[in-house]
Amino acid sequence: MDYDVLIIGGGVTGTAIAYELAKTDLNVALIEKEEDVCEGTTKANSAIVHAGFDAKPGTLKAKLNVEGAKLMPELAKLLDFDYKNNGALVLCFDEEHRPGVVELYERGLANGVEGLQILEKEQVKALEPNVSDEVVCALYAPTSSIVCPFGLTYAFAENAADNGVQFIFNEPVETIEKIDGGWKVNDKYTTKTIVNAAGVYADGIHNDVCPEKIQIIPRRGEYTLLDRSTGNMCSHTLFQLPTKAGKGVLITPTVHGNIMIGPNAQEVENKENTNTTPEGQAEIRQKALKTIPNIPFNKTIRTFSGLRATPANGDFVIAESADGFFDAAGIESPGLSSAPAIGKMVAGMIEEKLKPGKRENYKADRKGFVNVKKLSKEEWEKLIEKDPDYGTIVCRCETVTAGSIKDALTRSVPAVSLDGIKRRTRAGMGRCQSGFCAPRSMAIMSEVMNIPMEEIRLSNQKSKLITGKVKEDLKHGN
């Protein structure tokens, strides 16, 4: 067999499983249809490590959310990704809805969430002065946190690669065939076991293999992202209490100091439909004003959307659904929060089956990308002495240096597109949205990847950024 385990999908779920399996001496590969990890739902969500009061007690969602959230702080230190414990408030705007707050509180207790409290209006306003005066009370969840979903996924992937997991990119899984002692994938790779972590596409993969069918409904959620200058608008994640009228939207700071607003929920048919729409944007903006009345929407720097992989049965589908075929499917929210626990659970099931030993020379940690804004002047100077590229600022909005961009291009799971650089280093994430730094990042990519500028892409095989040279076009009278 080529592999002991072949993981399909390089989102946070697949990479978390790869990270856990890399601790064993199993021969593991991860196959991804895109050119990089973090290209599916994992790149577009609310980035909240939920405390765990939302999911129905007794479900996998509830159990793995609470477990995952508990693992996250230590993991953030070990694998060096951005994570912040900022706490959350679920705001109630009508005395009539107070029982809903109590219900969430009790559900949280049943799920094992620590530190929950119900706060009255004055207490809420003391914590968050910009919250509307209409607020009546709120559920306070001090363990709720925010994370960089890209950082978390690259950390899992790089550590897995550093410990021997092989990554196969640009290859969609199209066929899975049962063979003696395992499976054959794409008529090419033989493996003892398969993990299906294919996000919104996981139902197709499961249904090709298993007699009992599952269904995943893509539900799109749109967002508005505000410039960092608005970052002091709130410090907690502000949810609206779900009522009969709807789930409301959230306003949250991000780990990088922006404010993010959204999401709505709309079923879509096309599993690639991550458009934003005027109606969706109007909906989230109008709903958010209930939480904070004076949101400066003129500070919007980006809109985007992500697709929830909503399972028809309402819970995560994590099981050995056929002999040696493991599902990690239907991983909608709180999938990001649960990822560390999903990784442990699925790896545990596979270890039970294959009985591996421990990996020799296992490398437990991983270093994140240098953020020069976090360094003291002396530390930065020392770094520049060692590598002068860290003294060249490429992205002025986010203070990203040429050193970090080169680092992103040469890691064990390297960036191969401008978006890959952006998500790893934040070059292009700021106010100008890469208007200034894109050509400079591209020049570095051209040099390090040893390819002409015309070959550099924004995000996928079809997204070349340069179509030709202006001077040559003029010469030919175009």
Write each residue from 432 to 461 as x if it is in contact with ligand FAD (CB under 6 A), else as -, in one continuous string.
Answer: ------------------------------
- 223 pairs with which residues across the strands? 304
Contact by Cβ (8 Å): 20, 347 = yes
Residue 50 annotated to the active site: yes
Q: Which of 4, 20, 34, 398 binds ligand FAD (CB under 6 A)?
A: 34
Separation of alpha carbons 362 and 376, rounded Å: 32
Q: Which is nearer to ligand FAD, 33 or 256 (CB)?
A: 33
Q: Which of 308, 366, 423, 440 binds ligand FAD (CB under 6 A)?
A: 308
Spatial CB neighbours of 55, under 8 Å, sequence gap ≥ 6: 61, 62, 65, 111, 334
Contact by Cβ (8 Å): 169, 461 = no
Distance, first Cα to last Cα, the chain: 56
333 binds ligand FAD (CB under 6 A): yes
Contact by Cβ (8 Å): 401, 394 = yes
Separation of alpha carbons 103 and 472, rounded Å: 68
- Burial bucket for residue 342 (CB in 10 Å: 0-12, 13-18, 19+): buried
336 binds ligand FAD (CB under 6 A): yes
Please, what is the minimum distance in Å from the beta carbon of residue 220 to ligand FAD? 7
Q: What are the start-end ranges of the H helices in 292-376?
A: 335-354
Please, what is the minimum distance in Å from the beta carbon of residue 424 to ligand FAD? 16
Catalytic option among 50, 206, 236, 256 = 50
Q: Which of 55, 88, 165, 197 binds ligand FAD (CB under 6 A)?
A: 197
Closest CB to ligand FAD: residue number: 335
User: In this structure, what token pair is assigned to residue 3?
Assistant: 């592999």
How far is CA 118 from each of CA 193, 256, 375, rounded to the nearest angstrom? Answer: 47, 28, 39
Write each residue from 37 to 56 as x if it is in contact with ligand FAD (CB under 6 A), else as -, in one continuous string.
Answer: --xxxx--xxxx-x------
14 binds ligand FAD (CB under 6 A): yes
Please, what is the minimum distance in Å from the beta carbon of residue 260 to ligand FAD? 10
Q: For ligand FAD, how many residues bind (rule: CB under 6 A)?
A: 38
Q: Would you please indicate which residues are annotated as catalytic (active-site) residues?
A: 50
Which residues sit at the interface with ligand FAD, rule CB under 6 A? 8-14, 31-34, 39-42, 45-48, 50, 172-173, 197-199, 201, 221, 263, 306-308, 331-337
